[in-house]
Amino acid sequence: MGLLLSIHYLIWLVLSAACFASGEYFSKKFALEPGTGYLGLIFLMYGLGVLAWLPALMQRNQLSIVGTIWSVLSLLATVLIGVLIFSERLSIVGVLGIIAAIVAIVLLSIS
């Protein structure tokens, strides 16, 4: 357990968000081409995301801050996948929301 807790909580949150975003990617792929292989990958990536979340929560022990940072990181990763891989478009309001989310991460990280 000591090794898990020796890694900074933000690294765990980035890893967890990346796993979640991968789950979102495979969910979109499943929606486009249903198959059991995608289902297995979806469950695997979401499961790994939860496992990476736990050490972060144990370290920081503030659900409100850790949860918000994780939510914003997951949102950003998911938006990037949608825009860069699946060619989805963002509105101006969406871009402003992402900027506000980044500001939220910075403010919560320094508190």
Q: What is the pLDDT of residue 111?
A: 63
* Each residue's pLDDT tens digit, 15-59: 999 999 999 999 999 999 998 999 999 999 999 999 999 999 999
Q: Residue 110: pLDDT above 80?
A: no
pLDDT digits 0-9 by tens, 64-75: 888 888 888 898
Q: What is the DSSP string of 6-71?
A: HS-HHHHHHHHHHHHHHHHHHHHHHHHS--HHHHHHHHHHHHHHHHHHHHHHHHH--HHHHHHHHH
Beta carbons within 8 Å of 82's beta carbon, 6+ residues apart: 28, 88
